[in-house]
Structure 1
Protein backbone atom coordinates (compact mmCIF):
# COMPACT_ATOMS: atom_id res chain seq x y z
CA UNK A 1 0.00 0.00 0.00
CA UNK A 2 1.36 3.39 -0.96
CA UNK A 3 0.33 6.91 -0.10
CA UNK A 4 1.23 10.01 -2.08
CA UNK A 5 2.84 13.12 -0.66
CA UNK A 6 2.87 16.19 -2.85
CA UNK A 7 6.47 17.03 -2.04
CA UNK A 8 8.04 13.60 -2.57
CA UNK A 9 5.73 11.39 -4.61
CA UNK A 10 4.63 7.89 -3.58
CA UNK A 11 5.67 6.71 -0.12
CA UNK A 12 5.55 3.00 0.68
CA UNK A 13 3.40 2.25 3.73
CA UNK A 14 5.18 0.66 6.69
CA UNK A 15 3.88 -2.60 8.13
CA UNK A 16 3.61 -1.19 11.67
CA UNK A 17 3.11 -4.59 13.25
CA UNK A 18 6.19 -6.06 11.54
CA UNK A 19 8.21 -2.98 12.55
CA UNK A 20 7.06 -3.25 16.19
CA UNK A 21 7.87 -6.96 16.38
CA UNK A 22 11.28 -6.40 14.78
CA UNK A 23 12.15 -3.59 17.20
CA UNK A 24 11.11 -5.69 20.21
CA UNK A 25 13.05 -8.72 18.93
CA UNK A 26 16.16 -6.65 18.20
CA UNK A 27 16.00 -5.00 21.62
CA UNK A 28 15.63 -8.31 23.46
CA UNK A 29 18.41 -9.99 21.49
CA UNK A 30 20.80 -7.06 21.88
CA UNK A 31 20.30 -7.09 25.65
CA UNK A 32 20.67 -10.87 25.88
CA UNK A 33 23.81 -11.04 23.72
CA UNK A 34 25.52 -8.08 25.38
CA UNK A 35 24.99 -8.79 29.08
CA UNK A 36 27.65 -11.46 29.34
CA UNK A 37 30.37 -9.17 28.00
CA UNK A 38 29.84 -6.28 30.43
CA UNK A 39 30.11 -7.85 33.87
CA UNK A 40 27.19 -5.62 34.86
CA UNK A 41 24.59 -7.11 37.16
CA UNK A 42 21.50 -7.71 35.00
CA UNK A 43 18.80 -5.08 35.47
CA UNK A 44 15.17 -5.90 34.74
CA UNK A 45 13.62 -4.11 31.77
CA UNK A 46 11.43 -2.07 34.13
CA UNK A 47 14.33 -0.91 36.26
CA UNK A 48 16.45 -0.17 33.18
CA UNK A 49 13.64 1.94 31.69
CA UNK A 50 13.42 3.99 34.89
CA UNK A 51 17.17 4.48 34.93
CA UNK A 52 17.21 5.58 31.29
CA UNK A 53 14.47 8.16 31.96
CA UNK A 54 16.41 9.56 34.93
CA UNK A 55 19.64 9.69 32.90
CA UNK A 56 17.82 11.53 30.10
CA UNK A 57 16.06 13.92 32.51
CA UNK A 58 18.25 14.58 35.57
CA UNK A 59 16.25 16.24 38.33
CA UNK A 60 13.00 14.54 37.32
CA UNK A 61 10.56 13.52 40.07
CA UNK A 62 9.16 10.06 40.80
CA UNK A 63 5.72 11.22 39.64
CA UNK A 64 7.20 12.49 36.36
CA UNK A 65 9.03 9.19 35.79
CA UNK A 66 5.79 7.29 36.42
CA UNK A 67 3.90 9.55 34.00
CA UNK A 68 6.55 9.20 31.28
CA UNK A 69 6.48 5.42 31.56
CA UNK A 70 2.71 5.15 32.04
CA UNK A 71 3.16 3.29 35.33
CA UNK A 72 1.75 3.50 38.81
CA UNK A 73 3.63 5.84 41.15
CA UNK A 74 3.92 3.11 43.80
CA UNK A 75 5.47 0.60 41.36
CA UNK A 76 8.05 3.12 40.17
CA UNK A 77 8.82 4.04 43.77
CA UNK A 78 9.53 0.40 44.66
CA UNK A 79 11.86 -0.07 41.68
CA UNK A 80 13.49 3.26 42.38
CA UNK A 81 14.46 2.05 45.86
CA UNK A 82 16.37 -0.78 44.13
CA UNK A 83 18.27 1.75 42.01
CA UNK A 84 19.07 3.93 45.03
CA UNK A 85 20.25 0.88 47.03
CA UNK A 86 22.47 -0.16 44.11
CA UNK A 87 24.08 3.31 44.07
CA UNK A 88 22.75 4.15 40.60
CA UNK A 89 20.36 6.97 41.53
CA UNK A 90 20.37 9.67 44.17
CA UNK A 91 17.36 11.43 45.68
CA UNK A 92 17.69 15.08 46.58
CA UNK A 93 15.02 16.89 48.62
CA UNK A 94 14.28 20.48 47.68
CA UNK A 95 15.31 22.83 50.49
CA UNK A 96 12.24 25.03 49.97
CA UNK A 97 9.69 22.24 49.53
CA UNK A 98 10.59 19.01 51.33
CA UNK A 99 7.88 17.13 49.39
CA UNK A 100 9.78 17.67 46.14
CA UNK A 101 12.43 14.99 45.51
CA UNK A 102 14.69 15.26 42.47
CA UNK A 103 16.27 12.13 41.01
CA UNK A 104 19.77 12.11 39.54
CA UNK A 105 21.96 9.42 37.99
CA UNK A 106 25.23 8.69 39.79
CA UNK A 107 28.67 8.46 38.15
CA UNK A 108 28.36 4.66 38.51
CA UNK A 109 25.06 4.78 36.61
CA UNK A 110 26.69 6.78 33.84
CA UNK A 111 29.61 4.32 33.72
CA UNK A 112 27.20 1.40 33.40
CA UNK A 113 25.19 3.26 30.75
CA UNK A 114 28.32 3.77 28.64
CA UNK A 115 29.34 0.15 29.14
CA UNK A 116 25.91 -1.20 28.17
CA UNK A 117 25.52 1.09 25.18
CA UNK A 118 28.95 0.01 23.95
CA UNK A 119 28.03 -3.65 24.35
CA UNK A 120 24.73 -3.08 22.56
CA UNK A 121 26.57 -1.39 19.70
CA UNK A 122 29.04 -4.29 19.52
CA UNK A 123 26.18 -6.81 19.35
CA UNK A 124 24.55 -4.83 16.54
CA UNK A 125 27.85 -4.43 14.69
CA UNK A 126 28.49 -8.18 14.82
CA UNK A 127 25.05 -8.98 13.41
CA UNK A 128 25.17 -6.11 10.90
CA UNK A 129 28.45 -7.37 9.48
CA UNK A 130 26.48 -10.30 8.08
CA UNK A 131 24.06 -8.04 6.20
CA UNK A 132 24.48 -7.00 2.59
CA UNK A 133 26.12 -3.57 2.11
CA UNK A 134 22.87 -2.10 0.76
CA UNK A 135 21.01 -3.38 3.83
CA UNK A 136 23.51 -1.64 6.12
CA UNK A 137 23.03 1.54 4.06
CA UNK A 138 19.24 1.27 4.44
CA UNK A 139 19.58 0.96 8.20
CA UNK A 140 22.00 3.91 8.34
CA UNK A 141 19.64 6.03 6.24
CA UNK A 142 16.68 5.18 8.51
CA UNK A 143 18.47 6.10 11.76
CA UNK A 144 17.28 9.76 11.90
CA UNK A 145 13.67 8.68 11.37
CA UNK A 146 13.99 5.94 14.00
CA UNK A 147 15.49 8.41 16.48
CA UNK A 148 12.62 10.82 15.84
CA UNK A 149 10.11 7.99 16.24
CA UNK A 150 11.74 7.00 19.54
CA UNK A 151 11.51 10.60 20.76
CA UNK A 152 7.82 10.80 19.84
CA UNK A 153 7.09 7.51 21.59
CA UNK A 154 8.97 8.71 24.69
CA UNK A 155 6.74 11.76 25.12
CA UNK A 156 4.47 11.61 28.18
CA UNK A 157 0.90 10.69 27.36
Structure 2
Protein backbone atom coordinates (compact mmCIF):
# COMPACT_ATOMS: atom_id res chain seq x y z
CA UNK A 1 0.00 0.00 0.00
CA UNK A 2 1.06 3.52 -0.70
CA UNK A 3 0.05 6.77 0.86
CA UNK A 4 0.36 10.26 -0.50
CA UNK A 5 1.49 13.14 1.68
CA UNK A 6 -1.08 15.92 1.47
CA UNK A 7 -0.45 19.57 2.30
CA UNK A 8 -2.57 19.23 5.43
CA UNK A 9 -0.99 15.98 6.63
CA UNK A 10 -0.64 12.39 5.50
CA UNK A 11 -3.33 11.09 3.18
CA UNK A 12 -5.18 7.90 3.85
CA UNK A 13 -3.35 4.85 2.48
CA UNK A 14 -4.70 3.47 -0.79
CA UNK A 15 -4.56 -0.25 -1.50
CA UNK A 16 -3.87 0.11 -5.23
CA UNK A 17 -3.97 -3.63 -5.86
CA UNK A 18 -7.48 -3.92 -4.38
CA UNK A 19 -8.57 -0.80 -6.25
CA UNK A 20 -7.28 -2.21 -9.55
CA UNK A 21 -8.95 -5.57 -9.02
CA UNK A 22 -12.23 -3.91 -8.04
CA UNK A 23 -12.19 -1.64 -11.11
CA UNK A 24 -11.50 -4.58 -13.44
CA UNK A 25 -14.22 -6.69 -11.81
CA UNK A 26 -16.74 -3.84 -11.93
CA UNK A 27 -15.92 -3.14 -15.58
CA UNK A 28 -16.26 -6.79 -16.60
CA UNK A 29 -19.50 -7.27 -14.72
CA UNK A 30 -21.03 -4.05 -16.02
CA UNK A 31 -20.32 -5.09 -19.61
CA UNK A 32 -21.58 -8.64 -19.07
CA UNK A 33 -24.78 -7.64 -17.27
CA UNK A 34 -25.75 -4.69 -19.46
CA UNK A 35 -24.92 -5.63 -23.04
CA UNK A 36 -27.75 -8.07 -23.73
CA UNK A 37 -30.50 -5.47 -23.34
CA UNK A 38 -29.01 -2.99 -25.82
CA UNK A 39 -29.46 -4.97 -29.04
CA UNK A 40 -25.91 -3.91 -29.97
CA UNK A 41 -23.66 -6.51 -31.57
CA UNK A 42 -21.03 -7.44 -28.96
CA UNK A 43 -17.64 -5.80 -29.48
CA UNK A 44 -14.47 -7.35 -28.11
CA UNK A 45 -12.72 -5.44 -25.32
CA UNK A 46 -9.86 -4.58 -27.68
CA UNK A 47 -12.13 -3.18 -30.36
CA UNK A 48 -14.22 -1.30 -27.80
CA UNK A 49 -11.07 0.29 -26.34
CA UNK A 50 -10.03 1.51 -29.79
CA UNK A 51 -13.50 2.89 -30.44
CA UNK A 52 -13.56 4.74 -27.12
CA UNK A 53 -10.18 6.35 -27.84
CA UNK A 54 -11.45 7.54 -31.24
CA UNK A 55 -14.70 8.82 -29.71
CA UNK A 56 -12.76 10.72 -27.05
CA UNK A 57 -10.19 12.06 -29.55
CA UNK A 58 -11.86 12.59 -32.96
CA UNK A 59 -9.28 13.12 -35.69
CA UNK A 60 -6.67 10.96 -33.94
CA UNK A 61 -4.29 8.91 -36.09
CA UNK A 62 -3.86 5.12 -36.05
CA UNK A 63 -0.36 5.55 -34.63
CA UNK A 64 -1.68 7.75 -31.82
CA UNK A 65 -4.40 5.19 -30.99
CA UNK A 66 -1.74 2.46 -30.82
CA UNK A 67 0.45 4.65 -28.62
CA UNK A 68 -2.39 5.54 -26.23
CA UNK A 69 -3.29 1.86 -25.85
CA UNK A 70 0.30 0.59 -25.74
CA UNK A 71 -0.34 -1.74 -28.67
CA UNK A 72 1.39 -2.65 -31.89
CA UNK A 73 0.35 -0.49 -34.85
CA UNK A 74 -0.37 -3.58 -36.98
CA UNK A 75 -2.75 -5.02 -34.35
CA UNK A 76 -4.64 -1.75 -34.05
CA UNK A 77 -4.88 -1.53 -37.86
CA UNK A 78 -6.49 -4.98 -38.05
CA UNK A 79 -9.07 -4.14 -35.40
CA UNK A 80 -9.66 -0.72 -36.92
CA UNK A 81 -10.63 -2.39 -40.22
CA UNK A 82 -13.38 -4.21 -38.26
CA UNK A 83 -14.69 -0.87 -36.94
CA UNK A 84 -14.61 0.73 -40.40
CA UNK A 85 -16.40 -2.29 -41.94
CA UNK A 86 -19.05 -2.10 -39.21
CA UNK A 87 -19.66 1.57 -40.04
CA UNK A 88 -18.48 2.80 -36.64
CA UNK A 89 -15.34 4.68 -37.73
CA UNK A 90 -14.40 6.68 -40.81
CA UNK A 91 -10.92 7.32 -42.13
CA UNK A 92 -10.19 10.69 -43.69
CA UNK A 93 -6.97 11.42 -45.59
CA UNK A 94 -5.41 14.82 -45.08
CA UNK A 95 -5.57 16.91 -48.27
CA UNK A 96 -2.08 18.32 -47.69
CA UNK A 97 -0.40 15.07 -46.62
CA UNK A 98 -2.00 11.91 -48.01
CA UNK A 99 -0.02 9.76 -45.54
CA UNK A 100 -1.93 11.31 -42.63
CA UNK A 101 -5.25 9.56 -41.90
CA UNK A 102 -7.61 10.98 -39.31
CA UNK A 103 -10.09 8.68 -37.57
CA UNK A 104 -13.59 9.82 -36.63
CA UNK A 105 -16.54 8.11 -34.96
CA UNK A 106 -19.71 7.86 -37.03
CA UNK A 107 -23.25 8.80 -36.00
CA UNK A 108 -23.90 5.07 -35.48
CA UNK A 109 -20.90 4.89 -33.18
CA UNK A 110 -22.27 7.79 -31.15
CA UNK A 111 -25.70 6.09 -30.98
CA UNK A 112 -24.13 2.86 -29.73
CA UNK A 113 -21.98 4.78 -27.23
CA UNK A 114 -25.09 6.40 -25.77
CA UNK A 115 -26.91 3.05 -25.59
CA UNK A 116 -24.00 1.28 -23.92
CA UNK A 117 -23.25 4.07 -21.46
CA UNK A 118 -26.94 4.16 -20.51
CA UNK A 119 -26.96 0.38 -19.99
CA UNK A 120 -23.75 0.58 -17.95
CA UNK A 121 -25.27 3.31 -15.79
CA UNK A 122 -28.41 1.24 -15.25
CA UNK A 123 -26.34 -1.80 -14.21
CA UNK A 124 -24.45 0.34 -11.69
CA UNK A 125 -27.62 1.99 -10.46
CA UNK A 126 -29.28 -1.35 -9.89
CA UNK A 127 -26.28 -2.75 -8.01
CA UNK A 128 -25.68 0.41 -5.98
CA UNK A 129 -29.28 0.43 -4.81
CA UNK A 130 -28.23 -2.50 -2.61
CA UNK A 131 -25.49 -0.47 -0.92
CA UNK A 132 -25.90 1.45 2.29
CA UNK A 133 -26.62 5.18 1.82
CA UNK A 134 -23.20 6.11 3.25
CA UNK A 135 -21.53 3.75 0.75
CA UNK A 136 -23.35 5.47 -2.12
CA UNK A 137 -22.22 8.81 -0.68
CA UNK A 138 -18.60 7.59 -0.59
CA UNK A 139 -18.79 6.54 -4.23
CA UNK A 140 -20.33 9.88 -5.21
CA UNK A 141 -17.62 11.77 -3.32
CA UNK A 142 -14.86 9.76 -5.01
CA UNK A 143 -16.15 10.30 -8.56
CA UNK A 144 -14.09 13.47 -9.32
CA UNK A 145 -10.89 11.74 -8.18
CA UNK A 146 -11.72 8.61 -10.20
CA UNK A 147 -12.42 10.73 -13.29
CA UNK A 148 -9.09 12.51 -12.86
CA UNK A 149 -7.34 9.16 -12.37
CA UNK A 150 -8.97 7.84 -15.56
CA UNK A 151 -7.77 10.93 -17.41
CA UNK A 152 -4.19 10.47 -16.20
CA UNK A 153 -4.21 6.77 -17.07
CA UNK A 154 -5.60 7.62 -20.52
CA UNK A 155 -2.63 9.83 -21.41
CA UNK A 156 -0.27 8.50 -24.09
CA UNK A 157 2.60 6.41 -22.79
When normalised by structure 2's length, the TM-score is 0.96
Cα 1:115/1:5, change in 2 over 3 Å: same
Query: In 2 relative to 1, CA 92–141 (structure 1 residues): closer, same or farther, beyond 3 Å?
Result: same
Supply the distance in 1 between the matched residues of 2:125 and 2:73 (Cα, whole angstroms). 37
RMSD over aligned CA atoms reads 1.3
Give matches, 1:5-84, under 5 Å.
Answer: 5=5, 7-84=7-84
**Other structure's SS at 2:95 match:** coil
Q: 1:8-46, CA deviations, whole angstroms, 9 ceiling, x for partnerless residues?
A: 333211100000000000000000000111000000000
**Does structure 2 conserve the Cα–Cα contact (< 8 Å) formed by 1:2 and 1:10?**
no
SS at match of 1:92: strand
Contact 2:4 2:13 in 1 (8 A): no
Determine the C-alpha separation between the residues in 1 that align with 2:3 and 2:80.
45
The aligned residue for residue 147 of structure 1 is 147
What runs of 5+ residues in structure 2 fail to find an aligned partner? none
Gaps of 5+ in 1: none
Give, in whole Å, the separation in 1 of the partners of 2:12 and 2:58: 39
> Aligned residues, how many?
157
| Alpha-carbon separation, structure 1, partners of 2:2 and 2:53 | 36
Q: CA deviation digits over 1:39-80, x for unaligned, max 9?
A: 000000000000000000000000000000000000000000
| 3-state SS, counterpart of residue 114 of structure 1 | helix
Q: Secondary structure at the match of 2:90?
A: strand
Inter-CA distance 4–40: structure 2 relative to 1 (3 Å threshold)? closer
